[in-house]
């Protein structure tokens, strides 16, 4: 593996240096193009043979789609749900979007946002991305009820749901991700402050994956049950176009947008850890060591759902998570992008569980009703993992298309063409 000396950020920003420029472009390309695979993380943009220091790693803010979706998952997440202040109307939402977009563009590229007195805290974005979503109620506040997509509504109540309202739907959401927790905190703070006249924090859901450099680049992230999580994700542009990006159908303001499903999923470590490894693998349908299907050897081997063991029983259990989650042959549209983060916070007072951990499960798809709901319905009916997991929060958001700094050919700020032209 070739490793190059770190770039200075100044060199990066002014486009100096040939070698450095290559690495810089690799970083920049991450948001604009779906990643070559969904596994790479951190500062190398998934390009083997090139490594920059995290300090110099920038994900392009502008593009056909918002960054933070096809972007390989960074190490740290702040997902912030906001309540619009009383009386904020279309003009108010427009001002908020203009301000948040401009601030985010600057923060993500290492520039000081207008009015900020903290240049030292924004110098190294470390792959910072900011992704904005609209809850159903924003369309009402903006007098755009007639434009609300049909699927932008609460998911059905599933039988096993134990939803806590405190993790419920909000008017707006910002998904802020970075490989640096200090940058993440400062960016979050800046956006909360700059939006304070229009919206207040309702909840903040914090999550994490491996730090940059703490996992082999070829490995898919693991959750706190130790499971490899995200193997079936779309990997290249065509799959993203099929599953994630809204294109061609619908009004002009929706082109390039997507939807975000948020499910907060508690994982009961205390009971999970009573299982032996074989039972853990059977409940998932995959091996714990490398995520391979139980009928295969490697993570990306195609599962053989017909294979049986010496007793004639299916090797991959019919109630395993993998079997229940897969799209049926006659419904290939039941796929989506998983971008889950682990959470692990202090136990609630009086809780019987020793730990308070699980997933901030984020799914991106064109249409949650067609793509996500049928999968979750099957899992809710019979997924062996249900013995150890509980869905405790749920929300759905429309995620506006990407932007361009000068507004040419794209919105200059999030949802501009919805708010100004629709």
Q: Note the helical H segments in 171-225.
A: 181-194
E strand or H helix at 271, and its extent?
A: helix 269-272
For residue 298, state whether it binds a copy of itself (rule: CB under 8 A). Answer: no
For residue 181, state whether it binds a copy of itself (rule: CB under 8 A). Answer: yes
Do 379 and 373 touch, CB atoms closer than 8 A? no
For residue 118, state whether it binds a copy of itself (rule: CB under 8 A). Answer: yes
Q: Note the helical H segments in 109-251.
A: 136-141, 181-194, 237-243
For residue 3, state whether it binds a copy of itself (rule: CB under 8 A). Answer: yes
Distance CA 402, CA 409 (A): 11
Distances (CA, A) of 284 to 109, 113, 232, 320, 384: 40, 45, 13, 5, 8
For residue 7, state whether it binds a copy of itself (rule: CB under 8 A). Answer: no
For residue 216, state whether it binds a copy of itself (rule: CB under 8 A). Answer: yes
Strand extents, DSSP E, 209-296 = 258-267
For residue 239, state whether it binds a copy of itself (rule: CB under 8 A). Answer: no
For residue 13, state whether it binds a copy of itself (rule: CB under 8 A). Answer: no
For residue 345, state whether it binds a copy of itself (rule: CB under 8 A). Answer: yes
For residue 288, state whether it binds a copy of itself (rule: CB under 8 A). Answer: yes
Among positions 277, 298, 318, 331, the unique one binding a copy of itself when judged by CB under 8 A: 277
Do 371 and 333 touch, CB atoms closer than 8 A? yes
> How many residues touch a copy of itself (CB under 8 A)?
64
Distance CA 414, CA 422 (A): 14
Minimum CB separation from a copy of itself for residue 264, in Å?
13
- Tokens 């991305």 belong to 129
For residue 215, state whether it binds a copy of itself (rule: CB under 8 A). Answer: yes
Span interacting with a copy of itself, options 26-34, 192-200, 374-382, 405-413, rule CB under 8 A: 192-200
Distance CA 44, CA 51 (A): 5
Is 229 known to be catalytic?
Answer: yes
Among candidate residues 103, 171, 212, 229, the one labeled active-site is: 229
- Residue 6 or 374: the one with the smaller Cβ distance to a copy of itself is 6
Do 45 and 27 touch, CB atoms closer than 8 A? yes
Burial of 169 (0-12, 13-18, 19+ CB in 10 A): buried
Q: Which of residues 20-79 bind a copy of itself (CB under 8 A)?
A: 43, 51, 53-55, 75-76
Positions in the binding site for a copy of itself (CB under 8 A): 1, 3-6, 43, 51, 53-55, 75-76, 117-121, 124, 126, 179-183, 185-186, 188-189, 192-193, 196, 200-201, 203-204, 206, 208-216, 222, 224, 226, 269-270, 273, 276-277, 280, 288-289, 342, 344-347, 354-355, 357
Q: Which residues are catalytic?
A: 229
């Amino acid at each position: 593996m070739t490793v190059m000396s770190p770039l200075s950020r100044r060199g990066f920003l002014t486009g100096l240096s040939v070698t450095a420029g290559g690495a810089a472009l690799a970083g920049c390309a991450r948001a604009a193009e779906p990643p070559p695979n969904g596994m790479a993380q951190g500062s190398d943009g998934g390009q083997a043979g090139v490594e920059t220091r995290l300090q110099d790693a920038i994900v392009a803010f502008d593009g056909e789609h918002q960054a933070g979706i096809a972007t390989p998952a960074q190490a740290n997440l702040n997902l912030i749900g906001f309540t619009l202040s009383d009386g904020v109307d279309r003009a108010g939402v427009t001002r908020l979007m203009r301000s948040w977009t401009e601030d985010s563009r600057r923060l993500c590229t290492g520039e000081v946002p207008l009015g900020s007195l903290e240049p030292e805290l924004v110098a190294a974005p470390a792959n910072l991305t900011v992704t904005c979503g609209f809850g159903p109620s924003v369309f009402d506040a903006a007098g755009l009820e007639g434009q609300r997509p049909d699927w932008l509504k609460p998911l059905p109540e599933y039988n096993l749901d134990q939803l806590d309202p405190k993790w419920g739907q909000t008017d707006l959401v910002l998904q802020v991700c970075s490989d640096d927790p200090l940058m993440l905190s400062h960016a979050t703070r800046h956006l909360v402050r700059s939006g304070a006249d229009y919206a207040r924090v309702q909840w903040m859901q914090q999550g994490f994956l491996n730090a940059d450099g703490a996992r082999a680049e070829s490995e898919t992230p693991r959750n706190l049950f130790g499971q490899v999580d995200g193997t079936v994700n779309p990997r290249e542009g065509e799959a993203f176009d099929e599953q994630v990006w809204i294109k061609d159908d619908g009004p002009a303001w929706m082109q390039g947008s997507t939807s975000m499903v948020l499910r907060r999923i508690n994982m009961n470590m205390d009971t999970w850890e009573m299982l032996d490894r074989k039972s853990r693998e059977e409940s998932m349908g995959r091996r714990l060591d490398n995520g391979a299907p139980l009928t295969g050897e490697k993570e990306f081997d195609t599962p053989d759902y017909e294979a049986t063991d010496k007793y004639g029983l299916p090797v991959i259990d019919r109630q395993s998570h993998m079997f229940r989650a897969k799209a049926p042959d006659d419904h290939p549209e039941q796929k989506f992008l998983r971008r889950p983060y682990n959470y692990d916070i202090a136990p609630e007072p009086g809780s019987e569980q020793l730990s308070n951990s699980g997933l901030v499960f984020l799914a991106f798809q064109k249409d949650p009703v067609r793509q996500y709901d049928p999968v979750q319905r099957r899992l809710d009916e019979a997924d062996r993992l249900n013995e150890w997991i509980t869905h405790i929060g749920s929300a759905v958001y429309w995620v506006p298309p990407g932007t361009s700094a000068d507004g040419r050919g794209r919105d200059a700020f999030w949802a501009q063409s919805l708010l100004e032209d629709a």
